[in-house]
């Protein structure tokens, strides 16, 4: 067949598929009943699919070994207990084989190295038994500066909705007749010992279209919640509204955040009893206060007077001068086109900045000296990932970790400008001898160079025969960085698998521009990037389509759905976790409306026109040949609706395609609340991958 005839035929096929997609989008959805999260019929369907999947995947060679070894690691006493500075103590939440739901506990810095010195504040397993609930600890807000009183967040089954109760850390008891809020998606912040800023479900009309609070109230101790005074109201079309309290040695700042979209907001500071709106770009990231300085990170270029501040820069200005009209910000950090501020935090006097350079981390410490910021690079091992773990607002102590794919995580402590010293280090949970990590670049469809990491055996023969797992995300300005994963090492690398991490557009590896390049109508760029990495792996003969599997969750689950429907020929296994898949209805399901700044609004015809080109649920067809995909989700996920995975699996099965499906009954968006659930998810996923790719 001549090329012209081939092009005509392909065009005709694409037109037919496109018409089928439009028709499918217009017809009633026959699987809407699966959106009834706890509907009897839907749960019966889930139970049947779970049983069928477990029967197959648990029978795979190595399942039990991976499950047992992963659980042993998760329960191991030699793990690092990551702490948080709160007043005179370090606080930690810990799970092990004897404490499945965990212990909230504290110790002093001096006693941190002695595991017997932890003081248990709240036993979540005991609380769950006493109250007949499957409680999941979701953190606690302490009252500055003593941190004796806390507002503890407890979730039923791991979802985002929480019950919030006042707790006394000295008596280790919930405060009788203390502050208490019923289950809702919400938050609180201490104004003082007897006053809380509260964001919760106050009744009809008090939530945004995304399901989050739109009203902040001030609640006095000893009064009913209904009498709390309204401080601020947003609109129903906003994402959320909240008020937090920031403490510095100089003063207390009461800050209101009104989220207009996922990436735009208005920030107010309460001055003289009234909210005062900060004149900063709507898409800027408000960074709080350090001493007298207000901090700001830009997502777009910003021109103020005759000066333009660059996208991605971290700025500071004296807050009192700002209130008086001064707009001469100081540029503290200005990343280039291949770098990005991954995170920043501060102690009493120090600003800590985690800076990425070509997806490699370095930690810098900044100190304000008059009108300038002095910088010191903290020396650490090369080629890895730094994470700021905790910074003490009452001193200049801080902790951070270093890790890489093959280097176990190390926790380091420093104070002021002293050389960091190691507090704890993970043992090698898997044998990395003979393994190596490399960084390559693929060229995407539009010519953009896309970095990615490969972890493999040094002596591996490049013949395309190796089972390879490619992981990706590509959204919400979240960067994918090298990390030490005992589960991946145990279940994949030491058994001969190759692991690949893609840094596609939509993420934050190179700052806001990298993210914004794949927003809304440009979403396909992220998918083109992922395809380019996959094709580059094949070109290098690291693997071949028969041995190439992919994995992603949440927005990464949408990526998996797009790969499944766009390039089923390129992959032989797909692990699709807690995914978005029905992009026609995503904005109507749970928190979906809050993500329209990322994807667009499917109810607007012009925006559905581009969303429909990749929405996996509408693009599945009986005629296509798909790999047998594995869907994994959670009944208790109240962020990304489990109906996405349910409906996709049901539709594919009805069209004659084989799928594997497992839905955990709890776990929230993490799809796991306990170590056993996480070990099961790991063992199921890797058993499926070996079954498909070996």
Task: Just list the catalytic residues.
Answer: 554, 669
Q: How far apart are CA 630 and CA 681, in angstroms?
A: 11
Find the angle CA(570)-CA(575)-CA(581) to the nearest 5 degrees.
Answer: 90
Q: What is the 3-state secondary structure (H, E, C) of 486-502?
A: HHHHHHCHHHCCEEEEE
Q: How far apart are CA 47 and CA 684, in angstroms?
A: 16
Q: Look at the chain and count its residues.
A: 694
Q: How far apart are CA 673 and CA 677, in angstroms?
A: 7
Q: How far is CA 610 from CA 295, 312, 522, in A?
A: 37, 28, 9
- Check: CB of residue 558 under 8 Å from CB of residue 577: no
How many of the other CB atoms lie within 10 Å of CB of 389?
18
Q: How far apart are CA 541 and CA 426, in angstroms?
A: 34
For residue 452, what is the enclosing H or E element? strand 449-457
Q: How far apart are CA 75 and CA 677, in angstroms?
A: 12
* Cα atoms in the 13 Å half-sphere on the side-chain side of 544: 7
Q: How far apart are CA 188 and CA 165, in angstroms?
A: 10
Q: What is the DSSP letter of 126?
A: H
* Cα atoms in the 13 Å half-sphere on the side-chain side of 651: 22
Backbone phi, then psi, for 205, in 5-degree steps? 85, 0
Which one, of 23, 149, 57, lies nearest residue 584 by Cα? 23
Q: How far apart are CA 528 and CA 443, in angstroms?
A: 10
Q: Which residues contact 587 (CB under 8 A, 6 or more apart)?
A: 593, 595, 596, 601, 602, 603
Q: How far apart are CA 155 and CA 184, in angstroms?
A: 9
SS3 610: helix
Q: How far apart are CA 411 and CA 423, in angstroms?
A: 6
For the chain, how big is the Rg over CA atoms in Å?
Answer: 26
Structure tokens at 357: 């350079």
Q: How far apart are CA 450 and CA 474, in angstroms?
A: 11
How many of the other CB atoms lie within 10 Å of CB of 689?
25
CA end-to-end distance (rounded Å), the chain: 36
Q: How far apart are CA 85 and CA 393, in angstroms?
A: 8
Which one, of 222, 144, 210, lies nearest residue 180 by Cα? 222
């Amino acid at each position: 067949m001549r090329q012209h005839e081939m092009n005509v035929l392909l065009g005709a096929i694409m037109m037919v598929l496109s018409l089928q997609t439009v028709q499918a989008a217009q017809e009633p959805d026959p699987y809407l009943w699966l959106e009834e999260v706890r509907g009897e019929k839907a749960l019966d369907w889930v139970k049947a699919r779970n049983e069928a999947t477990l029967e197959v995947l648990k029978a795979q060679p190595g399942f039990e070994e991976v499950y047992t070894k992963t659980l042993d690691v998760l329960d191991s006493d030699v793990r690092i207990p990551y702490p948080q500075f709160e007043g005179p103590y370090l606080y930690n939440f810990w799970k092990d084989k004897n404490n499945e739901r965990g212990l909230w506990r504290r110790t002093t810095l001096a006693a941190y190295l002695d595991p017997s010195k932890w003081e248990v504040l709240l036993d979540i397993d005991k609380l769950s038994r006493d109250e007949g609930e499957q409680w999941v600890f979701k953190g606690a807000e302490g009252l500055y500066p003593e941190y004796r009183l806390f507002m503890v967040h407890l979730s039923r089954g791991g979802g985002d909705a929480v019950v919030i109760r006042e707790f006394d850390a000295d008596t280790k008891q919930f405060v009788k007749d203390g502050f208490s809020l019923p289950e809702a998606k919400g938050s609180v912040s201490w104004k003082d010992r007897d006053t809380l800023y509260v964001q919760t479900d106050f009744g009809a009309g008090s939530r945004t279209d995304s399901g989050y609070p739109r009203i902040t109230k001030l609640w006095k101790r000893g009064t009913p919640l209904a009498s709390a005074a309204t401080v601020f109201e947003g609109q129903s079309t906003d994402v959320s509204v909240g008020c937090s309290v920031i403490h510095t040695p100089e003063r207390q700042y009461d800050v209101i955040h009104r989220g207009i979209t996922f990436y735009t907001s208005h920030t107010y500071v309460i001055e003289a009893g009234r909210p005062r709106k900060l004149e900063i770009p709507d898409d800027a990231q408000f960074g709080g206060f350090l001493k007298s300085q207000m901090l700001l990170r830009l997502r777009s270029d910003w021109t103020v007077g005759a000066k333009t501040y660059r996208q991605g820069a971290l700025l500071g200005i004296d807050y009192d001068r700002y209130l008086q009209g001064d707009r001469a910000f100081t540029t503290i950090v200005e990343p280039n086109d291949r770098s990005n501020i991954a995170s920043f935090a501060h102690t009493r006097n120090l600003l800590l900045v985690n800076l990425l350079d070509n997806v490699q981390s370095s930690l810098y410490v900044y100190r304000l000296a008059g009108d300038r910021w002095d910088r010191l690079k903290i020396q650490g091992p090369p080629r890895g990932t730094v994470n700021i773990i905790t910074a003490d607002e009452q001193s200049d102590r801080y902790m951070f970790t270093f890790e890489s794919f093959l280097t176990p995580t190390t926790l380091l402590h420093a104070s002021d400008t002293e050389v960091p010293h190691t507090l704890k280090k993970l043992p090698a949970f898997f044998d990395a001898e003979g393994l190596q990590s490399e960084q390559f670049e693929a060229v995407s469809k539009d010519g953009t160079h896309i970095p990615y990491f490969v972890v493999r055996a040094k002596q591996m023969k490049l013949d395309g025969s190796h089972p390879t797992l490619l992981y990706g995300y590509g959204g919400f300005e979240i960067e994918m960085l090298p990390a030490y994963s005992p589960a991946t090492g145990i279940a994949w690398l030491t058994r001969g698998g190759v692991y690949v991490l893609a840094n596609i557009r939509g993420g934050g590896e190179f700052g806001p521009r990298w993210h914004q390049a794949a927003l809304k109508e440009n979403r396909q760029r992220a998918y083109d990037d992922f395809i380019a990495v996959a094709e580059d792996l094949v070109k290098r003969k690291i693997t071949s389509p028969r041995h190439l599997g992919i994995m992603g969750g949440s927005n990464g689950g949408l990526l998996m759905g797009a790969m499944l429907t766009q390039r089923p020929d390129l992959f032989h296994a797909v692990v699709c976790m807690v995914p978005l898949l029905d992009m026609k209805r995503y904005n109507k399901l749970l928190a979906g409306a809050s993500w329209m700044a990322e994807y667009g609004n499917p109810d607007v015809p012009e925006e559905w026109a581009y969303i429909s080109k990749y929405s996996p649920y509408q693009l599945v067809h009986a005629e296509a040949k798909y790999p047998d995909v594995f869907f994994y989700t959670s009944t208790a996920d109240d962020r990304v609706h489990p109906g996405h995975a349910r409906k996709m699996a049901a539709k594919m099965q009805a069209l004659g395609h084989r799928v594997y499906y497992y839905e955990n009954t709890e776990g929230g968006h993490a799809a796991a609340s306990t170590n056993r659930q996480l070990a099961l998810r790991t063992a199921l996923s890797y058993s499926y991958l070996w079954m498909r790719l070996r």
